[in-house]
Structure 1
Amino acid sequence: MNWYLSVSFGELALKGKNRKTFEDRAVKKIMDSVKDFEIEDFYKDQGKLYIKANKEDFDEMIDHIKKVFGIVYISPVIRVGRSVEEIEKGAIQLIESKNVTEKTSFKVEAKRSDKSFPVKSPELNPKIGGAILKKFGSKMYVDVHNPDIMVYIDVKNHIYIYSDKIKGYGGLPIGSSGRGLLLLSGGIDSPVAGFLLARRGVEISALHFHSYPFTSDRAFEKVHKLAEELSYYTGKITMYSINLLPIQREINEKCRAREMTILSRRFMMRIGEEISKKHEYNALITGESLGQVASQTIESVGVINQVVSMPILRPLIGMDKTEIIEISRDIGTYETSILPFEDCCTVFLPDRPVTKPRLSDILKSEENLDVGKLVEDAINSMEIYEIEVE
């Protein structure tokens, strides 16, 4: 009998005429994720990918595959021959792999996708259940409501038997929904925003603003590490790094102090849009959540949106901090995000930032600035990094 990893696609199955394109993209990402393992064979069978490899490598392979978007769950499966006797042997082998040492309940659940198989699912369930009871005697009993072990049987072109369903993140394969430029700070929110859009199929690059020397090298190293942690899910990230300090100084000297946050944010969007035009990104992505800070009130969001013509995607806009932190912990960015190193938003931070800005006031303040030159100078001094975890 042969052990395989079964990889189940999620909403890709709903993509109609585009389904094959989405699945092929997902398969490529999955096989890239396990390229360092010895793969004997792989193929698709009715909406699932099956990978034959050394069973001893399965746990590590599953950790890699889980990070590929578009996957609902992964299961170690036994592939058996097309007879009831072979299914019985496979089910017994599956139970034996569980090392049952005390009285344990189970349930058999067969699904016959291939109607040419002569035994129907309602007939197959008691046959296989009976074989398990006969083999394991008093150790096993049937519980159809809350079993300790599920024995799934998928009757397709081949027959597969399995028990565990390890959850993936679902979503769509990276690159299937365009390209986005993530404004990546050193906080909790922006890496989560990048993760959520990547899960929807967006290819992610990052734009980071610093205020060196007011912000330290360690603050930049923190952001670089966050990009690395995000790249476990997204693949290689191009990160554009820009010193915002010259712009902040101009704002501080020539505009009202209370408007520093909003004016700085509008410059960030302008710069992001110019980079996007040159490098063909379809949208800007931010970690803003409505009402958390002065720049994230509904009035501030409106004033910030006005400065660019391209979409600004805010996947966290309706989430509270607790929800965001939960995701941050799950994807492994939280501990880095809470390291106590400052970011550019703390420079020239006003005591009482404006929370309900009027566009007319902001436009009037910007008349005091050579906006075009400030944006151009910032981009001309930009540094670019390619970040990828091997």
Structure 2
Amino acid sequence: MKRLLIKYSSEISLKGLNRGSFENLLIHNIKKAIGNSANVIKDYGRMYIDIDGDSDDEVSEMVKKICKVFGVLSVGVADVVEKDIIKIGECASAQLKCMPDVKTFKVVTKRGDKKFPLNSMQISSKVGAIVLDNVPSIKVDIHNPELIINVEVRDNAYVYLKEYKAQAGMPYRSAGKGILLLSGGIDSPVAGYMMAKRGLEIVAVYYHSHPY
């Protein structure tokens, strides 16, 4: 199974009792960007979208649209496997075999499920060892790797190589509404972008002044 793994701004996690309303607004904005029929699954600090039936082009277009949504920190295209260290390692190996030009790697693990018997460092070490056994042409470089294998252990295990950076900030329309005066220069649209990134809904007003 494949899923889009969406990380959102850590600032949303600090909103206490209002956190749910910020998350729901972010889900609304994501659905508006990619289509209201999308099923966005909410988890602690993450959101998921199942993409099993979508083509590579459709997934790529979806990632581009989600990365433009304010409040989204990053998007990863992940393979979902059982929480079994052998299966995680084999999944990572299979992904790496599709990238024969890569010579060095490291494994970065985040363990959301604290009941999993191995800690993050142990998971990274064991997954790395399995990859080295299955892909003998590659080496470990923890300081300057060409590629990072991301592993997250939560309800399932998620393995992904590419993480696409997004806009971050706060969900659009989470901070009220403001008027933006556009005069034709560069300063006002940049200011509008920065305000929108902080969650302010923008009402743009343009005026044209003739030269003296």
Fold match by TM threshold 0.5: yes
Q: Which residue of 2 aligns with 1:66?
A: 67
- Cα shift at 1:202: 0.6
- Cα shift at 1:166: 1.3
Work out the CA distance in 2 between the residues paired with 1:124 and 1:202. 41
Which sections of structure 2, spanning at least 5 residues, go unmatched? none
Instruction: Give the secondary structure class of the aligned counterpart of 1:169.
Output: coil
Q: Which amino acid aligns with 2:82?
A: G
Check the 8 A contact 1:180/1:203 in 2, yes or no: yes
Work out the CA distance in 1 between the residues paired with 2:108 and 2:55. 24
In the alignment, structure 1 residue 105 sits paired with structure 2 residue 104: yes
- Cα shift at 1:96: 2.9
- The residue correspondences of 1:53-202 to structure 2 (distance < 5 A) are 53=51, 54-56=54-56, 57-97=58-98, 99-101=99-101, 104-137=103-136, 139-202=137-200
Q: Which amino acid aligns with 1:177?
A: A
Q: Which amino acid aligns with 2:104?
A: S
For normalisation by structure 1, the TM-score amounts to 0.51
Q: Which residue of 2 aligns with 1:347?
A: 211
Instruction: Give the secondary structure class of the aligned counterpart of 2:152.
Output: strand
Instruction: Give the secondary structure class of the aligned counterpart of 1:73.
Output: strand
Work out the CA distance in 2 between the residues paired with 1:126 and 1:120. 10
Answer 1 or 2: higher relative contact order, Cα 8 Å, separation at least 6: 2
- The residue correspondences of 1:276-287 to structure 2 (distance < 5 A) are none
Work out the CA distance in 1 between the residues paired with 2:146 and 2:16. 37
Work out the CA distance in 2 between the residues paired with 1:198 and 1:122. 39
Instruction: Give the secondary structure class of the aligned counterpart of 1:115.
Output: coil
Work out the CA distance in 1 between the residues paired with 2:94 and 2:40. 22
Work out the CA distance in 2 between the residues paired with 1:94 and 1:20. 35
- Cα shift at 1:61: 1.1
Q: Deviations over 1:192-245 (max 9, x none)?
A: 1111101110111111113xxxxxxxxxxxxxxxxxxxxxxxxxxxxxxxxxxx
Check the 8 A contact 2:33/2:66 in 1, yes or no: yes
Check the 8 A contact 2:86/2:130 in 1, yes or no: no
Query: Which structure features the higher share of helix residues?
Result: 1
Structure 1 moving runs of 4+ over 6 Å:
none
- Cα shift at 1:55: 4.8
- Cα shift at 1:21: 0.9
Query: Which structure features the higher share of strand residues?
Result: 2
Instruction: Give the secondary structure class of the aligned counterpart of 2:70.
Output: coil
Work out the CA distance in 2 between the residues paired with 1:51 and 1:12. 19
Instruction: Give the secondary structure class of the aligned counterpart of 2:97.
Output: helix
Alpha-carbon distance change, 122 to 7 in structure 1, aligned in 2, over 3 angstroms: same
Instruction: Give the secondary structure class of the aligned counterpart of 2:110.
Output: strand
- Cα shift at 1:44: 1.8
Work out the CA distance in 2 between the residues paired with 1:78 and 1:199. 30
Q: Deviations over 1:76-123 (max 9, x none)?
A: 1111112112212221132134x2236x10111222121121222222
In the alignment, structure 1 residue 6 sits paired with structure 2 residue 10: no
Work out the CA distance in 1 between the residues paired with 2:171 and 2:76. 19
Check the 8 A contact 2:90/2:131 in 1, yes or no: no
Q: Deviations over 1:177-203 (max 9, x none)?
A: 010111012221211111110111011
Work out the CA distance in 2 between the residues paired with 1:176 and 1:64. 19
- Cα shift at 1:171: 1.0
Check the 8 A contact 2:151/2:159 in 1, yes or no: yes
Higher-Rg member (1/2) = 1
Alpha-carbon distance change, 96 to 28 in structure 1, aligned in 2, over 3 angstroms: farther
Check the 8 A contact 2:110/2:151 in 1, yes or no: yes
Q: Which amino acid aligns with 2:168?
A: G
- The residue correspondences of 1:1-390 to structure 2 (distance < 5 A) are 2-10=1-9, 11-35=11-35, 39=38, 41-53=39-51, 54-56=54-56, 57-97=58-98, 99-101=99-101, 104-137=103-136, 139-210=137-208, 344=209, 346-348=210-212
Instruction: Give the secondary structure class of the aligned counterpart of 1:124.
Output: helix
- Cα shift at 1:347: 2.9
Q: Deviations over 1:351-374 (max 9, x none)?
A: xxxxxxxxxxxxxxxxxxxxxxxx
Work out the CA distance in 1 between the residues paired with 2:55 and 2:147. 20
Percent identical? 35
Alpha-carbon distance change, 197 to 185 in structure 1, aligned in 2, over 3 angstroms: same
